[in-house]
Amino acid sequence: MKVSVVIPTFNDEGTIGATVESALSQKFDGGFEVVVVNDGSTDGTRAELAKFGDRIRVIDQQNRGVSVARNAGIKAAAGEYIALLDGDDEWTEDKLAKTVPVLDENPACVAVSSNAIGVDGAGSIVGHPVTPEFQHSPTLDEMLEKLWAYLPSTVVVRRATLLAIGGFSEDFKPEHYACEDTFIMLLVRERGEIIYVPETLVRYRRREFHARLANRLPSRRFEVDSAEEFRKFERRYEANIILARLTIEHFGARGHKIATLAIDGVAHELIGVGLMAMHEGNRALARRAYRASIRYSPLTLKTYFRLAWAMLPAKAARALSSTFPPGLRRSLSGPPVLEERAQ
């Protein structure tokens, strides 16, 4: 078997059918299989998978997170290469045909990646998530200098490489939403070259920023006066902390830049939560979010201004904001925008 397509899925009822079909529709001369790991879905995902019958292999497990799900698929795979595909993304029909030969022809290459096109919930194109600065084959030093944009669905890796590094770190749990891919690709690059194919071979489903925040933003009934409840909420960002720790543990001083960027990422996300809370009129939650952001990034002066603004009585803030230009009003009162970062 040349390739095993490994698809982790959790509650992807609305997209998993198209995802699997895009894998099965590959125009690829080599043999391949599709292994789907159902990570404890509670919606209709399992029923959607059943429609494919014996065209795919399904592994059912309790919800343990995407790292454990991918590792289960890798362990069960028969292929020489592992092609990763997330349960809400799709491939073009030539994805395998344009990436697998790169591995065949380059013994020093341990993985190959491509570009992707972002699509929204309706399938409309919203842009390229793999930006031009990342569109080349990187050195390990480059990857330790910035958070490299590897979407798992763009990557095909030698199975032997994944087994040698122990697969995806299972320190990342179901409640964690990112960073496991960043860390494993650092380990992969340490084993050999990752060649970039300048082709758009993946349709990456990009969730809107407000919707993404809504998954993390508690309702107005959130007990913002409870430090314990806010700590539970803040634990949703532990993936960045885990990435920072694992990178330092493995790479030592060379991993310092990635660790710093990962921690700063928590601060940026919490600013987004604060801005959304301000937009929703939840000034108490905004204050907690900004204070938490300052703990991670104490030198970001703009956060202190936002905190001070959130501490003003709502009536006074409304009166003052009417005198501000629109850009400044939004910067203080939300909602957040996708491109916004703490400056």
Query: What is the residue extent of each domain of the chain?
Result: 3-206, 210-333
Work out the average pLDDT over 132-143.
92
Nearest to 37 by CA among 2, 82, 81: 82
Answer yes or no: are the C-beta atoms of 9 and 63 closer than 8 Å.
no
Question: What is the structure's pLDDT at 207?
Answer: 60
Q: What is the pLDDT of residues 157-190, one digit of tens each?
A: 999 999 999 999 999 998 887 899 999 999 999 9
The rounded percent of the chain whose pLDDT value lies above 70 is 92
Question: What is the structure's pLDDT at 127?
Answer: 80
Q: Is the pLDDT score of 22 beyond 60?
A: yes
Work out the average pLDDT over 214-237.
62
Question: What is the structure's pLDDT at 131?
Answer: 79
Work out the average pLDDT over 243-271.
96
Answer yes or no: are the C-beta atoms of 100 and 76 closer than 8 Å.
no
Q: What is the pLDDT of residues 96-131, one digit of tens each?
A: 999 999 999 999 999 999 999 998 877 788 888 777
Question: What is the structure's pLDDT at 216?
Answer: 46
Distance CA 300, CA 297 (A): 6
Question: What is the structure's pLDDT at 319?
Answer: 86
Question: Which of the two residues, 177 and 271, has the higher pLDDT score?
Answer: 271
Q: Which residues of 208-223 are buried (b: 16+ CB within 10 A; e: fewer)?
A: ebbeebeebbbeeebe
Q: Is the pLDDT score of 222 beyond 60?
A: no
Q: Is the pLDDT score of 140 beyond 60?
A: yes
Question: Which of the two residues, 267 and 127, has the higher pLDDT score?
Answer: 267
Is the bond into 132 cis (omega within 30 degrees of 0)? no
Question: What is the structure's pLDDT at 196?
Answer: 96
Please give the mean pLDDT across all residues of the chain. 90
Distances (CA, A) of 30 to 2, 101, 156: 6, 10, 14
Question: What is the structure's pLDDT at 234?
Answer: 84
Q: How confident is the model at residue 220 (pLDDT cuts 50, 70, 90)?
A: very low
Work out the average pLDDT over 33-42.
98
Distance CA 144, CA 336 (A): 29
Question: What is the structure's pLDDT at 232?
Answer: 78
Which DSSP string do the residues of 94-106 spell out, in sequence order?
THHHHHHHHHHH-
Please give the CATH architecture assigned to the domain spanning 3-206: Alpha-Beta Complex (3.90)
Work out the average pLDDT over 217-239.
67
Distance CA 186, CA 140 (A): 7
Among 82-96, 129-143, 198-212, 280-294, the range scoring the smallest mean pLDDT is: 198-212
